[in-house]
Structure 1
């Protein structure tokens, strides 16, 4: 799997110089100039993962499969954190070897297994104690066994999956700072493995689509964690060239994933434009109106591909659709509060009247306008 070397990389510069020399002198031996790093003096045997599987009271295989499927159902199509078929196959293989007394050394996958079980158990029981959700014991074992970055780079894609699971669990357990830091690590591994870049088709790996979905999963979690904590995202939108997931008519799963990524990008723009550390922005209201316009366009797409009709109680609601509609109406709260600043001395709202009366606002879809008005009234 390639590693990213930007223009400022000295190794990238050395390779470009070597290529130039070879072009100017065709007789040059390609291997005469080595540009590969030889960190032989720093090679160390990595310590084993500190996880004793024999001491962990794991559930029976059928229930472990049930917990796994519970996680898949509740996460739905909003995230693409692990391949269900591959995971279940490895789970059955692990239990089979365990029943035969063949306890293998702990690996990264075993940490992922514990995180999945932690999620599944917490979702199923929905019981909380002073120690946290009911799956906290599995989660604690997984986090205690989490290796350092060298071990994570032995299988970077699996490590990204693990960090995403850990960040989501932390987020659900209200460990917001921990979730923000954890997903930041997944984001940086993703960047060093070039998941955020678009490549010509001839240069793409065989699992390109899996990597692209994994990237947008990391992206969505990062934006969510940054917004909930009120911290900036460490990834600029301009540094992302991988295309958004496509919308496919009739494919609810794919459309939910795609719209979730789009909504997360709006959230990222809000964090940058409105909450970023900038000088006085002359085009502040213009930027806000542009965000509002893009949100309204996304709302139309959401209603088209994932409609939500709450007026018919007899009809079952789609979890993905309900989640995305809630997110759609939560997002305005992230940018209306600074726009609608209250002048305490005058007892009036400085910008809200002009904002509400703008042509951009009036042109939006009625339910979206209602959501925005509710947030403005909260400011009053």
Structure 2
């Protein structure tokens, strides 16, 4: 706080900001401007990133519906799809950004891996006030944006995005025991996976900044989905949650 107010104080808290962090700047795109769909990978490369590089440890999307939208995007009038489903397109760009970070392993100071897709996604991201109406998709997008920021040591902005994701998730009851008979098993499973992804991210990011958790365990009534037989993805998420519970932020 003293730094933001330009005050000298002997009690400054340490900040993660330093000159080693990749500089990231983007300008919000106008709502009436069509999204930029140039330079995207082929559908085969995009599917590879989705299936093998993102959804193994965390759950930022429902794979079946995401791939269906992806196939529609590549099959016919991609620009119209991106325009009509702007937030989904932002989601897709973030998936590409994080997937490319695994493949490229760039050491360039000026451009972190996947940055061109990340910056394009963030410029298209709707205003936070409008995101409230997008429900689960908004939560997934904000959480993934937070992970992208955290992966390049932008921890404070990552914490802000994860906080926003949790604040949108709570009114929809993702932290509660949602009724399967009303919403259906698929929807409840998606909500549970997303909530526990937020939980793990909150633990990691908050502790890295020396901050308390955004949500306390006593406020959570949802349960972990039981692991399906032979599913490494399910077992991995359950293990992450249990480790986060065992080692909470101090």
**Into which bin does the TM-score normalised by the smaller protein fall?**
0.7 to 0.9
The 1:87/1:201 distance shift into structure 2, 3 A limit, reads closer
Summarize the alignment of residues 49-64 of structure 1 with structure 2, pairs less than 5 Å apart: 49=31, 52-54=34-36, 56-64=38-46
Rounded Cα–Cα distance in structure 1 between residues aligned with 2:73 and 2:90: 13
Structure-1 separation of matches of 2:91 and 2:31:
13
Structure 2 unmatched ranges of 5 or more: 1-28
Superposed CA deviations along residues 223-246 of structure 1, whole A, max 9, x for unmatched, are 111112221112111111112333
- Residue 112 of structure 2 corresponds to 133
Partner of 2:242: 262
Figure out how many residues of one structure are paired with residues of the other and give that number. 219
Cα distance change of structure 1 residues 51 and 68 upon mapping to structure 2, 3 Å threshold: farther
Distance 1:181 1:50, change over 3 A: farther
Is the contact between residue 227 and residue 267 of structure 1 (CA under 8 Å) also seen in structure 2? Answer: no
What TM-score do the two structures reach when normalised by structure 2? 0.78
Instruction: Give me the TM-score of the superposition, normalised by structure 1.
Output: 0.53
Greater Cα offset, 55-64 or 222-231: 55-64
Q: Deviations over 1:268-305 (max 9, x none)?
A: 3xx2xxx3xxxxxxxxxxxxxxxxxxxxxxxxxxxxxx
Task: Choose the corresponding residue for 1:191, options 148, 152, 170.
Answer: 170
Shift of 1:151: 2.3
Q: CA 1:130–1:241 in 2, change beyond 3 Å: closer, same or farther?
A: same
- Paired residue for 2:139? 160
Aligned-partner Cα distance in 2 for 1:172–1:104: 26
The answer as to 2:183 corresponding to 1:205 is: yes
1:266 Cα deviation after fit: 2.4
Per-residue CA deviations over 1:83-128 (Å, capped at 9, x if unaligned) read 22221221121122236x7565251000001001111111111113
Alpha-carbon distance in 2 for matches of 1:200, 1:60: 39
Partner of 1:148: 127
The equivalent position to 2:211 in structure 1, one of 222, 227, 231, is 231
Cα distance change on mapping 1:141 and 1:102 into 2, 3 Å: closer
Distance 1:261 1:130, change over 3 A: same
1:48-77: per-residue Cα shift (whole Å, max 9, x none)? 7476334632222222223323423xx41x
Q: Structure 1: 5+ residue runs without aligned partners?
A: 1-46, 276-380
Question: How far apart, in 2, do the equivalents of 1:190 and 1:249 lie?
Answer: 29
Alpha-carbon distance change, 49 to 165 in structure 1, aligned in 2, over 3 angstroms:
farther
* Whole-Å separation in 2 of the counterparts to 1:156 and 1:110: 16
* Distance change in 2, residues 1:65/1:251 (3 Å): closer
Question: Could you say which structure has the greater relative contact order, defined with CA pairs below 8 angstroms and 6 or more residues apart?
Answer: 2
- C-alpha separation between the residues in 1 aligned to 2:44 and 2:229? 36
**In 2, distance between residues paired with 1:170 and 1:84?**
22
> Aligned to 1:81, what secondary structure does the other structure show?
coil
Distance 1:201 1:68 in 2: 27
Q: Within the alignment, does 1:113 sit opposite 2:113 as a pair?
A: no
User: Which structure has the bigger radius of gyration?
Assistant: 1
Distance 1:114 1:195 in 2: 25
Corresponding position of 1:218: 198
